[in-house]
Amino acid sequence: MSQVHTSLATIPNRYAFIDSVSKEAALNQSLSLMLVDVVRFSDVTTSLGIHIGDRFLLEIANRIQLLFGKNVLLGRISGDVFGIVFPNESNEHFLRKMFERLVEHFKTPMHYEDTAFIADFNVGVVCSSNSNQEFDLTMFVSSAETALKQAKENKYENYFALSTINKTNTGRSLALKADLKRALANNELELYYQPKVDLNTLKVVGAECLLRWHHPLDGMLFPGPLIEAAESYNMMNELGYWTLEQAFRTLAEFEALRLPLSLSVNISPTQLYDNHLVPTLRTLSQSYSIALSRIELELTEDVALSNSLMVKKQLGQLRDLGVSISVDDFGKGYSNLAYIRDLNLDALKIDKAFVMELEADPINRAIIEATKVIGDAKGCVVVAEGIETIEQLHILREVGVTRGQGYLFSRAVPLSDFIELSQQEIIVGNSPLRVNA
């Protein structure tokens, strides 16, 4: 299994790696997956360039492979995230030791000319046993990604582990599942709306729907724990379809008020692989008498650009119905431009990291300009998110980006506040004139 790679291209990509995970699960009674994210690696590529960054990534990959031995499988999940499969291993204590070994090993710096780079990592782990239950590949990989997300959010330790073994026996897991079921049953969830704005006229043209949770004890919360529970218990579809129905209800209110606005809804990978997605959207459209052209589905870059025949089929059917398809956080990963070329899209949403640092580094403007060229060639709208300053607004206008959202205009707000905002003049800076803001 082990090999020293001479190029990043020889390391299995996300889809080849996940296929290998499935094969290993069929051959082994237990399995563990570790996702390793290189912390702040964008600083390296920004400072030294992509080619030097790739050289460091290749060295990291080879050192990981040699560190953990020939029996593990290595893959590249995204730009600076690697996956490692440990066959016949489901002991979380062992995986923690591997994490500690990884961190200790990479205290030895890597060098390029006079520059030294010491790699640090966020690590998410999932352990599974196939002995008493059917292996669920989607849940297994999703759990690892959830663990990595939690590792990034941890304040004191960049490590988090989940287990699919006897998960429902833990008090924490039971509480999360109960919370999710109660939240759905008792209307504790609510959609907030962040306005999407025409950057030339500052007119509100739509909104992105964002989930909020009215916790009975803790008040208004972001729904991270609920999403964790939904992913863990295969309830993402239930949560996702609830969100879609609320969006249609909102569009019906817009229609009654004669507001010609559209809504964007984030869709999970689980829903995109669900055969009920297209029929459900048809039913909601008929039930609320709302054209499907008023709905935009936002997909993460890795899902939208996957080579899955199922994904391509679903996206084709959705666009045939008139649903708009947007790639969210475009540029955050290593975009496969061949897939971008072949995929029918309606919008590219520039990752906010490039927008928020527009004034700090000219490379961010160059990336946005390149995205605009790609969008124009494909007939896509290019949307900027994370706009916070007048200077960012002016630069985006110069580049020709005409749609955006961010705190400069409004944060996500409840429906009543959004409706009021959409019917008012948006004034930013010192000028009441939209085009001169």
The bridge status of strand 159-163 relative to strand 121-129 is: parallel
Q: Are residues 151 and 265 in the same domain?
A: no
Q: How much is the average pLDDT of 230-259?
A: 89
Average pLDDT over residues 363-373: 94
> How many domains does the structure of the chain reveal?
2
| Dist. CA 162–CA 373, nearest whole Å | 42
Question: Which pLDDT belongs to residue 57?
Answer: 92
435 pLDDT above the threshold of 60: no
| CA angle in degrees (0–180, nearest 5) for 303-381-13 | 25
> Residue 434 has what pLDDT?
45
Residues 394 and 261 in one domain: yes
Does the residue 1 lie in any domain?
Answer: no
pLDDT tens string 145-183: 888 888 887 756 788 888 665 444 444 555 666 777 788
Residues 41, 391: Cα–Cα separation, whole Å? 27
Last residue of a domain, one of 114, 135, 165: 165
Residue 326 shares a structural domain with residue 368: yes
Within this chain, do residues 119 and 185 fall inside the same structural domain, yes or no?
Answer: no
Q: What tokens appear for 248 in the block?
A: 């249609």
Among residues 165, 184, 203, the one where a domain terminates is 165
Contact present, 30 and 131 (Cβ < 8 Å)? yes
- The verdict on 157 and 194 lying in the same domain is no
Model confidence at 422, in pLDDT bands (50, 70, 90)?
very high
User: 119, 179, 176, 122: which is closest to 149 by C-alpha?
Assistant: 122
Same domain for 269 and 411?
Answer: yes
Boundary-marking domain end, from 113, 142, 165: 165
3-state secondary structure of 187: coil
Model pLDDT for residues 387-420, shown as the tens digit of each residue: 999 999 999 999 999 999 999 999 999 999 999 9
pLDDT at 190: 92
SS3 379: coil
**How does strand 403-405 pair with strand 189-198?**
antiparallel
The verdict on 150 and 182 lying in the same domain is: no
Q: Are residues 367 and 343 in the same domain?
A: yes
How many Å apart are CA 327 and CA 208, to the nearest integer?
A: 13
Amino acid 235: pLDDT:
76
Residues 127, 91: Cα–Cα separation, whole Å: 7
Query: Do 59 and 188 fall into the same domain?
Result: no
The answer to the question of residue 3 being in a domain is no
Given a cut of 80, is residue 270 above it in pLDDT? Answer: no
For residue 210, the Cα-to-chain-centroid distance in whole angstroms is 14
In a shared domain, residues 219 and 363: yes
Question: What's 99's domain CATH number?
Answer: 3.30.70.270
**Count of alpha carbons within 13 angstroms of residue 222, beta-carbon side:** 2
Angstrom distance (rounded) from CA 37 to CA 41: 9
Given this model, what pLDDT does residue 303 score? 67
Comparing 184 with 227, which gets the higher pLDDT? 184
Q: What is the pLDDT of residue 431?
A: 43
pLDDT, average across residues 245-264: 97
Rounded to 5 degrees, what angle do the CA atoms 428, 432, 437 make?
Answer: 50
pLDDT at res. 436:
45
Percent of the chain topping pLDDT 70: 85
Same domain, 336 and 198: yes
Read off the pLDDT of residues 273-319 as tens digits, 9 standing for 90 and up.
788 899 999 999 999 999 999 999 998 766 666 556 667 788 889 99
Does residue 186 lie within any of the structural domains? Answer: yes
What CATH number is given to the structural domain containing 339?
Answer: 3.20.20.450
Structural domain containing residue 247: 174-436
Q: Decide if 2 is inside a domain.
A: no
- Predicted confidence (pLDDT) per residue in 80-122, tens digit: 899 999 998 888 888 888 998 998 888 877 887 777 778 889 9
Query: Does one domain contain both 103 and 222?
Result: no
Residue 370 confidence (pLDDT) above 80: yes
